[in-house]
Amino acid sequence: MQTEDEAPPPSWRQRPKPVGFEIAYRIDGDELEIDSTRKVDRVKLGAVEQVRFLYAPSNISSKGFKTQLRLSNGKSVTFGNLSWRSLTDMERNDAGYRAFVEALSAAIARANPRARFLAGKSNWLWLTLTIVSGLSLVMLVLFTLRAFTQGASSAGWLGILLAAASIWQVGPMIKLNRPRDLRTGEVPDDLVPRGPAVAPG
């Protein structure tokens, strides 16, 4: 029977782009091993200064989430819960992603207790997104009202449709990416969702 000491280390595999290699991440002691097929990089977990969790859908229908590590040398490592299987098909495995992120966050907290854990975008990026989205929605509302008052019902209904689509798509971007400070090692449920694993196909 396999003991805990013999259990394989936490790992995660993702194909982040429709065209390209799969990238494998594996926690190896106090390092994160990143195997991109063509080369293997090793990142000291003690060199991770910041861990940021983001809502980042890859297209209009996907619920994409990403984890970004910022290192002391200025470089960053980013991976997410979505993996491209082909040019049109994506795989989502929230349970596997959650398990790896929890293990990685705990390992980083042990290696560098001073590492910052953050949720959402930076303050200025979130504020810019919120302002631009709000102005765009106001313009759509004004366009819709003007269309209906001038008897252009088809244009008015189009404006309503566009406004609804904008709220449906941009709303979660603003709500989930609100800047927040987290406790060291904390993994937020809204940005690293729990869910059933996707069976390989």
CATH topology of domain 11-120: PH-domain like (2.30.29)
Average pLDDT over every residue of 111-138: 90
- Give residue limits of the domains in the chain: 11-120, 123-173
First to last CA, the chain: 28
- Categorize the per-residue pLDDT at 112 as very low, low, confident or very high, splitting at 50, 70 and 90: very high
Task: Give 132-184 pLDDT, tens digit per residue.
Answer: 878 888 787 777 788 778 877 787 777 677 767 767 678 888 999 999 999 99
